[in-house]
Amino acid sequence: MLNYLSRRVIYAVLVLLGVNLATFILFFSINTPDDMARLNLGGKRVNQAAIEKWKGERGYDKPLYLNAQRQGLEQITDTIFWDRSVSLFALKFGRPDSESAGDIGGEVAARMVVSLQMALPLFILQVLASTAFALLLAMFRNTRLDFWGVVSCVLMLSISSLFYIIVGQFLFSRLFKLAPISGYASGFDAFKFLVLPIGLSLLARLGGEARLYRAMFLEEIGKDYVRTARAKGLAEGAVLYRHVLRNALIPIVTSAGSYLPYVFLGSLVFESFFGLPGLGAYVIEAISRQDFAIVRTMVFVGSLLYIATYVLIDIVYTWVDPRVRLS
């Protein structure tokens, strides 16, 4: 496993380098530092003195890749690429483009806590609810319960998340007054602001996940070891729980694990509509302000989380199925 992890670390560094370089080239080939200054200062009528001041405050007055005025390593390190791209590997995110002060790293850390408060309970509830519902449908397969359960799953996955949000806010916030329509408070007061978005997000994802898990369970049910377990007199519930569920865990881990990055990055749609100051809302705000420093940072953080997640999924495979070996 050590050799495997070492290779994955090397792959991760190479992938991050590629993503980082591609993102940097994309942003700075479309918009020069002067263009960024004009966007943040208010348009084309801004004078050059204000542009130079803005660039100097944010370090955009340096050359992009090579500083010929410096000597030695400073030719590379005293550049925009080093300050705004390579420094991300040290988790030094710098300051936003659209603000006169502040630190992106501190903002990311603070907002990640809010995103975790919503996404972590949602992740756990999603896995438990989807698995339990799928097992129920598999147990009562080819019955009316199974038929209408599948119909419900198709309906749930066919409806947009925006519909759940709008209807949920109207019913539970405006009509029944059960939860605030939007906002956030720290500490234990956060519960009343998070319960509605967690519930609606769970409902929005339940149909697709449960239908997928049901298909996995039905595939396992038709295999020889299940018929052997039944022939030995094992109850149907025990067959499903002890054998079918355990052997279907690898695709479930893959499906559920792919959602893990959202646990940290937050939900763009739900955080925006419910006024939660998480990372998802942070990205939306950065895009609306055309703050390229924040967007580049979140692209890097997202790539890092995705790579770490899939390494974790591979490790979990060895726990779920002892036959899997990482070599």
Q: Does the pLDDT of residue 325 top 80, yes or no?
A: no
Give the pLDDT confidence of 86-134 residue by residue, as tens digits: 888 888 888 888 876 778 888 888 888 898 898 889 889 999 999 999 9
Would the pLDDT of 327 be above 90? no
Model pLDDT for residues 189-202, shown as the tens digit of each residue:
899 999 999 999 99
Distances in Å between the Cα of 20 and the Cα atoms of 25, 34, 241, 310 are: 9, 22, 44, 19
Q: What is the pLDDT of residues 290-314, one digit of tens each?
A: 888 888 888 888 888 888 888 888 8
Q: Which residues contact 93 (CB under 8 A, 6 or more apart)?
A: 87, 103, 104, 105, 108, 293, 297
What pTM, to 2 d.p., does this model score?
Answer: 0.82
pLDDT at 236: 84
Can you tell me which residue has the tokens 């359960």? Answer: 149
Q: What is the pLDDT of residue 43?
A: 64
* pLDDT at res. 198: 93
Walk me through the domains of the chain, giving residue ranges and CATH numbers. Answer: 2-90 (no CATH), 111-320 (1.10.3720.10)
Question: For residues 193 and 147, what is the distance between their CA atoms, to the nearest angstrom?
Answer: 35
pLDDT at 326: 67
Buried b (16+ CB within 10 A) or exposed e, 259-297: bbbbbbbbbbbbbbbbebbbbbbbbeebeebebbbbbbb
pLDDT at site 100 = 67
pLDDT tens digits, one per residue of 30-51: 788 888 888 888 765 678 888 8
Q: In whole numbers, what is the pLDDT of the chain averaged over residues? A: 86
| Whether the predicted pLDDT of 10 surpasses 80 | yes
